[in-house]
Amino acid sequence: MRIGELAARLGVNPKTIRFYEARGLIPDPVRLPSGYRDYGPEDESRLAFIKTAQRLGLSLDEIGEILAFKERGERPCSYVLSVLDAQLSDIDRRIGELVRLRAELVTLKDRADQLLSGDACYCGIVEHAGRMSQMITR
Amino acid sequence: MRIGELAARLGVNPKTIRFYEARGLIPDPVRLPSGYRDYGPEDESRLAFIKTAQRLGLSLDEIGEILAFKERGERPCSYVLSVLDAQLSDIDRRIGELVRLRAELVTLKDRADQLLSGDACYCGIVEHAGRMSQMITR
DNA sequence: GTACGCCTTCCACTCGGATGGAATGTCAAG
DNA sequence: CTTGACATTCCATCCGAGTGGAAGGCGTAC
């Protein structure tokens, strides 16, 4: 399949695929007589892997390292594991923080709703934002 | 306190503080007779808030909008509420994604641990990554 | 009084991750 | 045989979030 189709299947820009090729993340593909890149299913799954890993928070360099291990037939396990461990604890931290921020925003919004329906209000939301800041950064 | 001390307290580069000022995220500070910026505790907590929000994945623009509520001292209008709502649902979405990714990472890591302790492992983790990809993107 | 560290402004550059656009080539359908 | 969609290369630009460096001012310690 040509680059446009591959890109469409994965929901990415064809330029992105060429960009990954230039970065060495995907191998130089076979070319059709026309010079067009010709991709197969392995390319699709490789690209899917890249996109997944990216969603997991890995940088293109990290992904490249993992793929390179695979290329060389080496055991990337411990490296991958350490990356995974780091990602995991980072995610835990972020979830905790988001949950806290969420609670604060909800409170803030509730106040705002009340104030909207109430009369004679300037902006209690403002004072609350101050408290929010303290709570969040506590 | 001067910019260097404030920066040190927060573990950021003084340039970053000037950058935030230029972006309108923090108010133009009082100046000492020397022309040096002079910061107080409110500046420190505001900066701390920015950094926290940033760790949570908010962009500087989003943070700016939130801080602008405070600045403008406006009544909570529907625009403000809609921004808050957007922020909230975005946070919910991100929490959901992170929770899912966390579960997948744990599974992946468990597999990897097994494979590591077993013998004759090239890199099952990579092959499992393919399955992982399916699981996550399901 | 000069050395040294911190401060000022301004402009340019970095970095990761793409994207845009120009100029040109390929190919199937009308 | 031309039109249109898609492809190619190469170079430039964008975005967010800073960071670097030059040229010069301030302030305290020796």
Is beta strand B37-38 parallel, antiparallel or unpaired with respect to A37-38? unpaired
CB A33 within 8 A of CB A69: no
CB B85 within 8 A of CB A109: yes
Burial class (CB in 10 A: 0-12, 13-18, 19+), B6: buried
pLDDT value of position B134: 41
| Closest B-chain CA to A98 | B56
Are residues A69 and A94 located together in one domain of the fold?
A: no
Strand locations in B10-128 (E): 30-31, 37-38
Are residues A83 and A122 located together in one domain of the fold?
A: yes
B32: Cβ under 7 Å from strand D? yes
**Does the residue B69 lie in any domain?**
no
pLDDT value of position A108: 67
Which residue in the block uniquely carries the two structure tokens 């461990």? A85
- Enumerate the β-bridge partners of residue A59: none
pLDDT (tens digit per residue) in B54-79: 877 788 998 888 888 766 666 555 66
Are residues A69 and A98 located together in one domain of the fold?
A: no
**Does the residue B63 lie in any domain?**
no
Of the two residues A97 and B133, the one the predictor is more confident about is: A97
| C-alpha distances out from residue A100 to A36, A72, A77, A93, A107, Å | 51, 44, 34, 11, 11
Last residue of one domain, picked from the residues B14, B35, B57: B57
- pLDDT band for position A135 (50/70/90)? very low
Judge whether residue A62 has pLDDT over 80. Answer: yes
Percent share of chain A, pLDDT over 90 = 36
Number of Cβ within a 10 Å radius of residue B48 = 17
Are residues A45 and A12 located together in one domain of the fold?
A: yes
Are residues A70 and A82 located together in one domain of the fold?
A: no
Last residue of one domain, picked from the residues A26, A44, A74: A74
**Does the residue B86 lie in any domain?**
no
Are residues A21 and A60 located together in one domain of the fold?
A: yes
Question: Range of B97's domain?
Answer: 92-138
Are residues A68 and A85 located together in one domain of the fold?
A: no
**Does the residue B77 lie in any domain?**
no
pLDDT (tens digit per residue) in B2-53: 999 999 999 999 999 999 999 999 999 999 999 999 999 999 999 998 998 8
Interface TM-score (ipTM) > 0.90: no
- CATH number assigned to the domain comprising residue B53: 1.10.1660.10
Are residues A89 and A113 located together in one domain of the fold?
A: yes
List of residues 6+ apart from B2 with CB closer than 8 A: B32, B36, B37, B38, B39
CB A128 within 8 A of CB A108: yes
Shortest Cα–Cα distance, A33 to chain B (Å): 31
List of residues 6+ apart from B76 with CB closer than 8 A: A111, A112, A115, A116, A121, A123, A124, A125, B69
B11: Cβ under 7 Å from strand D? no
**Does the residue B74 lie in any domain?**
no
Are residues A128 and A85 located together in one domain of the fold?
A: yes
Are residues A91 and A67 located together in one domain of the fold?
A: no
Q: To the nearest 5 percent, what fractions of chain B are helix, strand and coil?
A: 70, 5, 25
Are residues A51 and A10 located together in one domain of the fold?
A: yes
**Does the residue B62 lie in any domain?**
no
Here the tokens at position A57 are 């928070």
Distance CA B19, CA A80 (A): 36
- pLDDT band for position A120 (50/70/90)? very low
pLDDT (tens digit per residue) in A78-89: 666 676 677 677
Count of structural domains within chain A: 2
Are residues A58 and A19 located together in one domain of the fold?
A: yes
**Does the residue B79 lie in any domain?**
no
Last residue of one domain, picked from the residues B11, B31, B57: B57
Contacts of B124 in chain A (CB under 8 A): 77
Nearest CB to A121; choose among B75, B126, B132: B75
Per-chain mean pLDDT for chain B: 75
B59: nt with nearest C1' to CA: D16
